[in-house]
Amino acid sequence: MQAPSDAPSPAAQAPVDILVVDDQPEITELVAEALSEEGYRVRVAHDGAAALRAIQRRTPDLLLVDIAMPVMRGDELLHRLRSDGFPTLPVVVMTADTRPERFRSMGANQCLRKPFDLFSLIETVEAYVRA
């Protein structure tokens, strides 16, 4: 007879918390639905300022953020996160920018170029939540 494991079962573990930030509701809805179907807990914000407040209330395990948004742009949010106490929060930038690699030098862990397919999105998310 085997001794019971001290490790919690996968079902007992809390789901990974992902914050999706984009000013286009159709994008946040699509991303949230796809990630929820994969078992992630997904929260949504529609601008950088709302995202910052949400992060300060409860830090997500991963942040997916657009750049071009009203109120506070995604690059400003990224700068504030990196300089104000969230230096290790994994951030994936979702952008249609023609030079997405420049956001890596600002502190993004990875960039997903819009339009992206859901397979690429899920693959990217899985890479960060397994790390």
Q: Is the pLDDT of residue 5 over 80?
A: no
pTM of the model: 0.87
User: Which residue is listed with tokens 């992060």?
Assistant: 55
- Which structural domains are found in the chain, ordered by start? 16-120 (3.40.50.2300)
Instruction: Give residue-wise pLDDT tens across range 42-97.
Output: 999 999 999 999 999 999 999 999 999 999 999 999 999 999 889 999 999 999 88
Q: Is the peptide bond before 115 cis (omega within 30 degrees of 0)?
A: yes
Mean pLDDT of the chain: 89
Q: What is the pLDDT of residue 11?
A: 40
Instruction: Give the distance, in angstroms, between the CA of residue 40 and the centroid of all CA atoms in the same chain.
Output: 11
Nearest by Cα to 77 from 97, 93, 61, 62:
93
Q: Which two tokens stand for residue 115?
A: 């339009």
Helical (H) or strand (E) element with 66: strand 62-66
